[in-house]
Amino acid sequence: MPRKIALVGVGKIAVDQHIPALNASSEWELSAAVSRNTVVDGVPNFTDMDEMLKAHPEVEVVSLCMPPVPRFAYAQAAIAAGRHVMLEKPPGATLSEVHTLADLATKAGLTLYATWHSREAAFVKAAKAWLVGKTIKSFTVTWHEDVRKWHPNQDWVFEAGGMGVFDPGINALSIVTEILPDPIHLKSSVLDFPENRDTPISAQLDFYHPHGGTVTADMNWDHSGDDVWQIEAVTDAGVLTLKNGGGVLLIDGVVQTGAEDGLSGEYPNLYANMARLVADAASDVDLRPMLHVSDALTLGKRNVVKAFDW
């Protein structure tokens, strides 16, 4: 029997990814939704989280898809009501609040899953396997996209806690922390803040690598043209290039085959992971990508650039 799940926060990512993934899964039954503005067809809809939890005790799992700032209170309420919790990325507004949620879930014997959808792109596992045992000479992340395309008129991304360019940039960092054989940490960052916004629109990051490799990231959220989601690793045994956010892999310029679903498997894989975690009474709360963002904001040299308007 499929497990019953509720979706909380029905915005663009929920409509584009979560709902289709749940509807296609044999492991899940979408049984309720909570949103202030959107109704999901075919299920009971609520505007209040507590009302949903009281009305649907049969719902085992709550998947939280709202922006990071309000998410803690919703996750805390779900755990207090005895529900397993799945968190859209980034898992919270701060590291401390996610640590608190992890402690609450552990004490309650519940699953907490901090998801990183980009790790589920088709060739991320293959890239990780290829890099094992190789010496990194340089590792370059280029992550350019247009906020107007992916978050149209969503001012929360530029408000405190919204993370700005790190909302997409953390996707790159989730792949980096998954595939690099050695741990890295940030040495310096340069952040461009529009004069009328609270979060950066672009970032340049420089990392320490334990074996002397050069590791950098160039992130831009005011990009025109096609999205650029690329990671290139120059090693002693050749060059690995991940394109399209991990959906395409090249080794020494040769396109690799064997995983043809590109990015389409990301969210189905996340929900399959959640089903396994609940079945195993386990949690998965890897905060390394978010730690790099926190370090970037701590170390960042701030540049004020022209105002950003939609």
pLDDT in tens, 83-108: 999 999 999 999 999 999 999 999 99
* Chain segment 247-305, per-residue pLDDT in tens: 999 999 999 998 777 899 999 999 999 999 999 999 999 999 999 999 999 999 999 99
CA dist 49 → 106, 148, 218, 229, 241 (Å): 22, 30, 38, 35, 43
89 is catalytic: yes
Query: Of 89, 128, 134, 243, which residue is the catalytic one?
Result: 89
Residue with tokens 């990512």: 13
C-alpha to C-alpha distance for 173 and 155, rounded to whole angstroms: 23
71, pLDDT greater than 80: yes
* Pick from 9-13, 60-64, 103-107, 166-170: least confident: 9-13
Categorize the per-residue pLDDT at 223 as very low, low, confident or very high, splitting at 50, 70 and 90.
Answer: very high
pLDDT value of residue 258: 82
| pLDDT at site 262 | 81
pLDDT of residue 261: 78
**Dihedral, CA atoms, 69, 161, 197, 296, nearest 10 degrees?**
-160
306 contacts 194 by C-beta, under 8 angstroms: yes
Radius of gyration of the chain (CA): 20
DSSP state of 14: I
Element (H, E) at 98: helix 95-108
Q: Kindly report the pTM of this predicted structure.
A: 0.96
What is the pLDDT at residue 297?
Answer: 97
Asked whether 93 and 68 are in contact (CB, 8 A), the reply is yes
Task: Tell me the average pLDDT of the chain.
Answer: 97
CA–CA gap between residue 173 and residue 289 (Å, rounded) = 5
What the chain holds in terms of domains, given with CATH numbers, is 3-114 (3.40.50.720), 118-258+294-305 (3.30.360.10)
Per residue in 147-200, pLDDT tens? 999 999 999 999 999 999 999 999 999 999 999 999 999 999 999 999 999 999
